[in-house]
Amino acid sequence: MEQARLNSGNFVWDRIKNVDELGDVRMRAMKKFIKDYEKGLEEGRYIPEQLPLLPFYDGAFDIALSSHFLFLYSGHLDFAFHLKSIREMCRVAREARIFPLVDLDIKPSPYVGQIMEVLAKEGYEVVIEKVDYEFQRGADRMLKVRRNNYGTD
């Protein structure tokens, strides 16, 4: 929360009014998750795995989501990791969605354009869509990736 306080000008304070409310929202979400975690593990709702390789069969899911991970950590995770992860998400799901498309400094990730180009050449449908959510300034777009031949190969 201290980083959010120091960089408060980087955020849009409309849905969440200030840093204190952000802390409360995050704490409530964390407590709710922790309270459910053991039961969720037992029921198979939580499966601890990690990109870039997933243990699921091809097409196991309709949508694979990456929220505040891929692209956000462009300074820590290289291009190859991002590309391999998105391909893997598309292997296990009909569609992959990645949000946001900025890095931790709220600058466009340098990998987005390169990844779109590579995936388009490989036969993926790749689009950027504006979303109805912006908390980090300028972070209001998501990448949607889908294999054009999904289900036919």
The per-residue pLDDT string of the chain (153 residues; one tens digit each, 9 = 90 and over) reads: 988 898 899 999 999 999 999 999 999 999 999 999 999 999 999 999 999 999 999 999 999 999 999 999 999 999 999 999 999 999 999 999 999 999 989 999 999 999 999 999 999 999 999 999 999 988 999 999 998 765 544
Angstrom distance (rounded) from CA 106 to CA 100: 9
Task: For the chain, list the strands marked E by DSSP.
Answer: 61-67, 93-99, 124-130, 141-147
Count of alpha carbons within 13 angstroms of residue 16, beta-carbon side: 17
Q: How far is Cα 84 from Cα 101, in angstroms, rounded to an integer?
A: 17
| pTM summary value | 0.88
Q: Which pairing describes strands 124-130 and 141-147: parallel, antiparallel, or unpaired?
A: antiparallel
Structure tokens at 17: 């009014």
